[in-house]
Amino acid sequence: MNNIKNICFFGGGSWGQALAITLARAGHPSSILVSDKKRKKILNSNKSSCFPDLKFPKLIKAFNDKQNLKNFDLIFITTESPRVENSLSEIMKTNPKSNVIITSKGFANSKGETFPEIIHKKYPNLTFGVLTGPTFADEVARNLPAAALIASKNKLLAENVSNLFFNTSLRLYLSEDVIGASIAGAIKNIMAIGAGISDGLQLGDNAKAGLITRGIEETCRIISRCGGKKETAFGLAGIGDMTLTCSTPHSRNMKFGIDLVKKNNQNNNKLVEGLNALNAAKNLSERFEIETPIIDSINDIINKKKNFELIISELFKRPIKSEFRIK
């Protein structure tokens, strides 16, 4: 039985709005915490600030006062990844008994610590989960079919969240691997930048397929070394999300990579989660001595350490090895 009654989305961007709209279609009311009064007014006028062609459901209410967080028993964090740690702090100050679902895809900080790692250190009694997978917010908002993953050590929480979305266009599968789910969501954004670079250089479909496949192997290696389940890399959180994000400039991260090659980059870099994750992934791989040649190459390109031709040449001159190497 689902005892979740009061639902909040901490962050009023496109993903928070898309999830709230989806729940409203299933008859579930929710509230969205937004940072500015203008956005609050727009949403409470039954208009979406992110999806202007959609009528915003009356079951959704927006608010500004963080003290109201105390009224909710389930809070989805739907901010950019650099804001997650502060969001957790705000929630724990006002409502430490709430259940929390992190939907942001990235690392908690530049050291490469994951969101589950931070929670276990700072808030060991918090019941939380990670929602991730191949989901473009605008498609979810438009009621197009999608599948994603809800991971939690607390099986009842995962089941309850999945049941909230039951009979909607968003199907949630269950997992206990919060570490793997969190890491996979972060690494795929880095690989999407690489896929954009590949497309920008017109390296062809073969090259991009190879990048995605080897990117999954690097993801698998990182997950396994950090205590997650390598199988997660081969599911919705891993290969599913990476395939989506690396397949179309609909993805901010892939578009950033394309524009980087064309030297026509007008993206808001703060919204390119792969950039936020890149330095963290490098530090994480160095901390655990994990070999990550694709992540390293993308980092060299972003930081202008080497040119494209040299990086491609070095990748192909690496010693021949077995396809699967977990360690």
Question: Could you list the active site residues?
Answer: 188
What residues have CB less than 8 Å from 250, skipping those under 6 apart? 136
DSSP summary character for residue 239: I
Dihedral angle of Cα 101, 238, 218, 272, to the nearest 10 degrees: -60
CB 221 within 8 A of CB 324: no
CB 98 within 8 A of CB 31: no
CB 241 within 8 A of CB 188: yes
DSSP summary character for residue 251: S
Query: What's 64-110 look like in SS3?
Result: CCHHHHHHCCEEEECCCHHHHHHHHHHHHHHCCCCEEEECCCCCCCC
What residues have CB less than 8 Å from 132, skipping those under 6 apart? 103, 105, 148, 149, 151, 181, 182, 184, 185, 236, 237, 241
Structure tokens at 212: 């995605």
